[in-house]
Amino acid sequence: MTGNVYTLHRTLPYPLGAAYTNDGIRFVGEFDSGADCGILIYPESSSAPIKISFPSWAREGRICAMEVKFSGHDAVSRFLTDKNGRGLKYLFFSGDEVFPDPRMEDSCGFGDFGTVTSPFSRIRTDRHINESKHISHPYSESIFYMLHVRGFTAHTSSKVRDKGTFRGVIQKLPYIRSLGITAIIFMPVYEFNEIISLPDMIKKGDEPSGMVNFWGYTDGYYFVPKHSYSATGDPVKEMHEMVDAIHAAGIEVILQFKFPSRFSSRDITDLLRFWRTIYDIDGFQLIGGGLPVDDIMSDPILYGCKILTDDPVTKSGEQYNPEHGHMDLGFMTDIRKFLKGDPNSAQDAALQLRDSDPVSHPVVFIARQDTMRAMDIVSYNEKHNLENGENGIDGADYNYSWNCGYEGVTRKKNIIELRKRQFMNGFALTIMSQGTPLIYSGDEFGNTQFGNNNPYNQDNATGYIKWSGGAFAKELLEYVRTLINIRKSHPAIGTDHALTGRDYLSYGYPDISMHGEELWRADIGPTSHSFGILYYDKYADDQDERLIYLIYNMHWEPKPIAVPKLKNKMEWKITLSTDAGNVLDGNRIKVRPRSFVLLETDVT
């Protein structure tokens, strides 16, 4: 350390991590008691690290904290920043063990995705002030879109410049915005460890499997964005750029986290506060049970932040965050059963479609990351997971899917046409429900995972979105866009208040009603596969006189459905249908097999 000296000083034992002070750097970490512990500093101009142990006075319980102040003519150039202005590199040590700071906010030494690396912690110098404030759209007006940063644009067909990165997402933003998306849910973007070993039941020795944890639901460094998702090697900067760009498009940013069991309630709230305040994140999807929900929902910094959990939260109160929602897996199961024509499915499906819960805010989907893709549920009867390396035993065994008469890829036109119709029916059931719709990226144009319902380790074409689907994919995409536009144009769909089924304001129609072969009498019994749902927009907007009538026939035979009579100067028109043979005949439609019809009123 010629020409430079350092001195050690007391500092507060909280928060954990490393940060610059006016005169040096404060280091705070958690260590086992009794072991010699400290930091290894790696100056820019030296290949050898400088080892500094925490003195005895620096320990408070299991926390060690000290401030290191440097002096000398080249202290800044040698110790505080590198030649590019990035922060100091360092590691922690405890006894003979050397490891990165679990609370590091910047990093270096991480390589390409799936490569074994020698990471270092780096002190964050970026004090980026995001150009936009938090965005918050009501659940009733929201369309969620889930994506994996790498899988979204890694395929050559994505045609973006920076494939598989945060910047790749930015380059696809015009497309996302054109769908009418209001919030993007990101699968893990923190620095997770993707290197995995073969499952115990089939691995030989301790060799790595050659596979990666592509999804990211594994341990890692939770306070720093993933290095391999950056195009320039500066993930902190690029994460900020991506959030700014998404906010500029009027879209919310929601991050997924699955916490390890060692995390305490304080650890979890600290982490969410960090991403909320440093990166201006608008919401979080928290995966798994045992979460400190009350602590999270009562946290003042997280108030107004969307919090999505697996189970519904029904608690409310003045100091309790009302922006909680839940991922409604039951919706997916019930709707898939109805879609494929299972007996005893109509009643459950009808309840799911009309369920409006302004407190628990159900998020509904036909598919998500850990299920078959939307196109695969109409193309495969069975999961096809052998390539995952677990002898096909991973992933859900019951997918409530139907291959329409042939397993997998086919060139038979009648099967392709039926699959297209079933795909469209599935999206109609989801988008036109009362819950907040979620689309898994690529599903909107029929992306396939070839029947794999658990491609957690598929860093390849199976796990990637394939963007070159041709005319067939374009037709599906335009249909989904149309559904979203229609949903947004009708305030009665996705309403923010509970529906009653009564005309309690004497408008002439109830807020919601169900119909079948006869008006006002829907058959949703054990053998039924058909019904219609009528919504009156006036109950959501007293200036809007329009009605919208949604008819579903998932039976393999045609079904006559009655159409409600209208007031004077109003008439029905078929806006959307998944079968061109569906024609309005007076006050009745003979609905074609396995098809959906959407009628709207014209006010003349």
How far apart (Å, rounded) are the C-alpha atoms in residues 419 and 410?
11
Q: Where are the domains of the chain?
A: 4-122, 334-361+370-434+446-478, 512-603
Q: Would you state the pLDDT for residue 129?
A: 64
Evaluate if residue 76 carries a pLDDT over 60. Answer: no
Q: To the nearest whole number, what is the mean pLDDT of the chain?
A: 92
Alpha helices in 63-214 (DSSP H): 75, 149-153, 166-171, 173-178
Instruction: Reply yes or no on whether the pLDDT at 206 is more than 90.
Output: no
Cβ-contact 349, 429 below 8 angstroms:
yes
Q: Tell me the three-class secondary structure of 529-541, residue by residue.
A: CEEEEEEEHHHCC
Return the CA Rg of the chain: 28
Contacts of residue 416, defined as CB under 8 A and 6 or more positions apart, other chains included, come to 410, 472
Secondary structure element (H or E) that encloses residue 241, with its range: helix 235-248
CA distance 48 to 292: 44
According to the model, what pLDDT value does residue 200 have? 43
Summarize pLDDT for 403-452 with one digit per residue, the tens: 999 999 999 999 999 999 999 999 999 999 999 999 999 999 999 999 99
pLDDT digits (tens, 9 = 90+) for 153-195: 999 999 999 999 999 999 999 999 999 999 999 999 999 999 8
How many percent of the chain have pLDDT more than 90?
Answer: 81
pLDDT of residue 116: 78
Selection from 331, 319, 388 nearest residue 361 by Cα: 331
State the pLDDT at residue 420. Answer: 98
Q: What is the pLDDT of residue 310?
A: 95
Cβ contacts of 258 within 8 Å, gap of 6 or more: 188, 217, 286, 287, 288
At residue 2 the predicted structure's pLDDT band, cuts being 50, 70 and 90, is very low
Which of 229, 260, 256 shows the shortest CA–CA distance to 110? 229
Phi, psi (deg, nearest 5) at residue 70: -105, 150
Q: Is the pLDDT of residue 231 over 50?
A: yes
pLDDT tens figures, 386-395: 999 899 999 9
Between the two ends of the chain, the Cα-to-Cα distance in Å is 86
Planar angle of CA 77, 79, 80, nearest 5 degrees: 80
Contact criterion met (CB below 8 Å) for 243 and 173: no
- Per-residue model confidence as pLDDT tens digits over 536-560: 999 999 999 999 999 999 999 999 9
Mind listing the pLDDT tens digit for each residue in 374-387? 999 999 999 999 99
Can you tell me which residue has the tokens 């009665």?
492
For the stretch 582-595, pLDDT in tens is 999 989 999 999 99
Whether residue 519 contacts residue 564, with contact meaning beta carbons closer than 8 Å, is answered with yes
Specify the pLDDT at position 547: 97
pLDDT at residue 294 tops 90: yes
- The reported pLDDT for the residue numbered 32 is 87
Task: Report how far apart, in Å, the C-alpha atoms of 99 and of each of 121, 190, 260 are.
Answer: 9, 17, 18
In angstroms, the Cα distances linking 457 to 151, 153, 214, 307, 341 are 11, 17, 5, 27, 33
| Interval 402-413: pLDDT, tens | 999 999 999 999
Question: What is the C-alpha separation between 279 and 86, in angstroms, rounded?
Answer: 18
**Confidence bin at 78 (pLDDT 50/70/90):** low
Residue 477 is given by DSSP the state: H
- Decide if pLDDT at 250 tops 80: yes
Q: Output the DSSP codes for 390-422.
A: STT-SS-S------TTSSS----HHHHHHHHHH
Give the per-residue pLDDT at 578: 98
Model confidence at 107: pLDDT above 80:
yes
Give the helix/strand (H/E) hosting 51.
strand 50-53
The CATH code belonging to domain 4-122 is: 2.60.40.10
Q: Which two tokens stand for residue 289?
A: 């049970």
Q: What pLDDT, on the 0 to 100 scale, is given for residue 71? A: 78
Q: What are phi and psi of 177, to 5 degrees?
A: -65, -35
Q: Which CATH number fits domain 512-603: 3.40.50.12280, 3.40.50.720, 2.60.40.1180, 2.40.420.20?
A: 2.60.40.1180
DSSP string, 176-228: HHHTT--EEEES--EEE--EEEPPTTT--TT-EEEEE-SS--S-EEEEEE-GG
Mean pLDDT for 66-74 is 79
From the number of C-beta atoms within 10 Å of its C-beta (0-12, 13-18, 19+), residue 106 rates as buried
The pTM of the full predicted model, rounded to 2 decimals, is 0.95
